[in-house]
Amino acid sequence: MKIAQVGEDVLRTKAKQVEQSEFNQQSLITFIDELLVTMLEAEGIGIAAPQVFDPRAIMIIASRPNPRYPDAPDMQPLVLVNPVIKQSSENKVWEWEGCLSVPGLRGHIERPDSVDVAYLDREGKAQNIKFDGFVARIFLHEFDHLMGKTWLDHITNTENIMANDVWVAKFAYQFLTSRLA
Ligand SMILES: [Zn+2]
């Protein structure tokens, strides 16, 4: 599926809740499968339905280790429908983020270090989960998309924006030197 780029109205629109009656429909099952394929093809570690022009409150998060986060958990993709934040930690952390809908840029963004979430799974069953660290960050980034926001909305200082190529050069070097030490 085509990925919406910043400036598209769908990325500025609050997502609609998925109705219980939709859960046994083939159309929802097919949509979630296609959303997953789109995320994997784009080498994303998360995606939200508004990013493929669908206004429903559906997201997938799929952390995996990478040069910037070598200790990031390698998780099976997790589908969350109608997620709600029950609690988020007082403790906040800064990290650089990218977004499939904001190509070419990275943003240095402060977010809670952990978050408790209630959601419906892809069968429509109610679930609760706690996310920590890098996975909490992915969840909160995708949750922003369901609220009609992107990481750009967190920027109050333009020094917190970097071209992706510069970010890769800086942090690939840092990663190598940390391994050499
Ligand atoms: Zn994004």
Cα(60)–Cα(129) distance, rounded to whole angstroms? 14
What's the CA-to-centroid distance between 47 and ligand 1, angstroms? 7
> The whole model's pTM is what?
0.92
Active site residue 159: no
Q: Which of 22, 97, 142, 159 is catalytic?
A: 142
* Domain ranges within the chain, ordered by starting residue: 9-180
What's the CA-to-centroid distance between 27 and ligand 1, angstroms? 24
The DSSP-derived string for 39-62 is HHHTT-SEEEGGGGT--BSEEEE-
User: Cβ contacts of residue 136 below 8 Å, gap of 6+?
Assistant: 111, 112, 113, 114, 115
pLDDT tens digits, one per residue of 129-181: 999 999 999 999 999 999 999 999 999 999 999 998 898 888 776 666 666 65
What's the CA-to-centroid distance between 180 and ligand 1, angstroms? 32
What's the CA-to-centroid distance between 59 and ligand 1, angstroms? 11
- Three-class SS state of 149: coil
Architecture of the domain whose range is 9-180: Alpha-Beta Complex (3.90)
Percent of the chain with pLDDT over 90: 80
Q: What is the bridge-based pairing of β-strands 78-88 and 114-120?
A: antiparallel
- The residue whose two tokens read 């960050």 is 137
User: Cβ contacts of residue 5 below 8 Å, gap of 6+?
Assistant: 101, 102, 103
